Structure 1
């Protein structure tokens, strides 16, 4: 795999989004470290087989390990924790109050409609389609939003 690497790499890279994973390759020490914040899809289990003779380290979602191994050469923008709290609240709102079409059950219906011509008689169980989500009451949601605002306010004051 070492021969497939693109040479010295880039000296500067600005990403338009937060990465969900990364690989740190230390050629001199023959060490490979990997971090991944999303579902790893058995990558960590396969890593030793991909790099035989190398020490492999699986850092799970600890991207800080990668930053530390770079010795100051990898700089990350400062985190805006207040904005993160608000973004998290908004994401949860979208997820909780999503339409049926956007829900997992809606996705199952779309997939079933695509597959049914290939497998006539395909049936999707009622359990798979039940919209078993329980939404918070307006008062519960207001309490959640208030808590998010309080936490966000703490981060804004300390910045």
Structure 2
């Protein structure tokens, strides 16, 4: 269990992030068309998992916009923006914002991804949602970098995530 903050108030997560140099846990998440995607679908690519509580909050929306800008220049890399939002909300946001360089995936059905990655918030007002996390995975499926943002209201360190590629 990890402790993060929400506006300076401590809240707990369901576990610890995957350790660097270990295999990233596989997942099955829901795409915008309600089909599913798994980690193995992206085999052979570098992957940035941009994970957050809800696309309908300012910082979460900013992280999607920022990674969308930065992803346009990345070779053999996919940025997956993951939350427990319904795919309809993710599609609405991306359509309104012209987001085209990242993919959104939803953990709304079971919340298994959040539990497997140890980042589900277990108490406080965001209980059941994901904490703000970035995970970078190499082409072989190994975790190269993780960041659990100390306060969910803060943005991740985009430069460190990109440098880990």
Output the TM-score relative to the length of structure 1: 0.25
Higher helix share: 1
Higher strand share: 2
Output the TM-score relative to the length of structure 2: 0.25
